[in-house]
Amino acid sequence: MANFLQSVRQGFGRGNNNKNNAPKMNNGSPAQSPAPQAPPMPMSPSFASSLSVDSAGVSDADAPKYFFQEKYAPLNVKGNFLTLCACPKNVELGEWLAHQIVEQYRLLHGMLQVIQETNSVTGFPICNESTCPTMSAGRLTYTWLVDGRAAKISAPKFINRVEKWIVSKIHDPVMFPTGEVHGVPETFALNAALNPDGHSSANSSAEPSTDEWIGKSSGFPPTFYKDCQGIMKQMFRCYAHLYHAHWLNPFWHINKHDILNMCFVHFVTVAKYYKLVSDKEMEPMQPLIDLFIKQQRIPAEALSGGHWAQQTPSSA
């Protein structure tokens, strides 16, 4: 875990990280910080999903949402996340989005490991069948499609399936080709991938009618952008569960909530800049996103699909 925490800070100036070295108690477990005193925060509404059906849940719905308050939302780094997510001028967009997907999964996986580590005393991880019988985010419960039907499964099972699914996508040579592309790839004209209303054609259920698509010149399939949206949506749901169910235990108690915030801000910046996760999907975490926008942690250029806006003549 130490190597992960060191690697995610590369490229940024460090903030005040003294508290990140949580003191150890005699039994070898991290010393716990006292629980913050704050009033309960409003709950997030549920919403429909095209990938899985959401229904009301109550497992952690009434827990105080401390992470929605500014004093509990620090970051462990200083810097502009746009420098990490903006596509370099001479890099093909498909290649860059593939890099972003892999990087965002690397960061998320490090955070998920925190709740998946087995407790030497209880023999169970913090997120287990008993503590998290459903994949919840406040009053929202995510369901998994089983034999074509929405089914409630425990959070650890849901997260395990998401991780296996993402890894299978990343290692799929069709989805993420690694072979050499003959010829000189040209950077794809991004506005060619947009419908007249400004939304990506990959958002529709039908295949794009155009002969061009994001990543074509680098060997990516026509569904690549849509697949990236699906992966990022499931990663967001994991973040929503981490905050709503596990922000206090363990992240606050081991003084790693600021690293969780850093990973989440980076994720949201990429998601918004390339329109990979819809605003509707982000509702369970909207108060925290609004807070980071207010703090200018999420750059203004990333809002409302900043990358696409830069490709239109009117933005010049």
Cα–Cα distance between 301 and 307 in angstroms, integer? 8
277-309 burial code (b ≥16 CB/10 A, e <16)? bbeebbbbbebbbebbbeeebbbebbeebbbbe
Binding residues: 127, 132, 241, 246
Binding residues for Zn(2+): 127, 132, 241, 246
**Sign of the four-CA dihedral 14, 16, 17, 20:** negative
